Chains A and B, each alone.
Chain A
Amino acid sequence: MTHLPILKWLRRNLVVIGGLATLAYLILPNVVVMVFSFNKPNGRFNYSWTRFSTDAWKDPCGVADMCGSLSLSLQIAFWATIGATVLGTMIAFALVRYRFRARGAINSLIFLPMAMPEVVMAASLLTLFLNMGAQLGFWTILIAHIMFCLSFVVTAVKARVMSMDPRLEEAARDLYAGPAQTFLRVTLPIASPGIAAGALLAFALSFDDFIITNFNAGSTVTFPMFVWGSAQRGTPVQINVIGTAMFIVAVVVVTAGQFIANRRKNSAKA
Chain B
Amino acid sequence: MTDSTAGGDVRLTGISKTYGSFTAVHPLELTVPQGSFFALLGASGCGKTTTLRMIAGLEEPTTGTVFLGDKDVTDLPPYKRPVNTVFQSYALFPHLNVTENIAFGLRRRGIKSVKKQVDDMLELVQLGDFAQRKPHQLSGGQQQRVAVARALINHPQVLLLDEPLGALDLKLRRQMQLELKRIQTEVGITFVHVTHDQEEAMTMADTVAVMSGGRVEQLGAPAELYENPKTTFVANFLGTSNLIEAEVVEKSGEDVVVTAGGAKLRLPGGRCSAATSSGGKLLVGVRPEKISLAHRDDEGAVADGRNRVTGRIVDSSFIGVSTQYLVDSPAGSGLSVYEQNIERDTRLVPGAEVVLHWNPAHTFGLDAAQAKDAGVEKVEDAA
Instruction: Give residues in A with beta carbon < 8 Å to B.
Output: 165, 167-168, 170-178, 181, 185-186, 189-190, 267-270
Contacts and interface: CB of A to CB of B under 8 A. Distances in A.
Contact of B94 (A172, A185, A190, A267): A190
Given A168-B93, A186-B93, A174 B77 contact: no
B58 A173 contact: yes
Contacts of B88: 167
Given A165-B91, A167-B91, A269-B137, A174 B108 contact: no
Given A171-B85, A268-B134, A270-B132, A176 B91 contact: no
B67 interface: no
Nearest to A192: B95
B137 A168 contact: no
Contact of A173 (B78, B92, B93): B78
B133 interface: yes
A269 to B, nearest CB: 7
Nearest to A186: B93
A181 B110 CA distance: 12
A181 B95 contact: no
13 contacts: A167-B87, A167-B91, A173-B57, A173-B58, A173-B79, A174-B56, A175-B104, A175-B150, A176-B80, A176-B109, A181-B108, A190-B93, A270-B132
Contacts of A168: 91, 93-94
- How many B residues are at the interface, by size bracket? 20 to 34
Which 9 A-B residue pairs are closest in the complex by CB-CB distance?
A175-B105, A171-B91, A167-B91, A176-B108, A173-B78, A189-B95, A177-B108, A174-B85, A176-B79
A171 B83 CA distance: 11
Question: Quick one: which of A165, A176, A178, A190 has the most chain B CB within 10 A?
Answer: A176
Contact of A174 (B58, B132, B134): B58
B297 to A, nearest CB: 62
A174 B89 contact: no
B64 to A, nearest CB: 21
A175 B87 contact: no
Contacts of B89: 165, 167
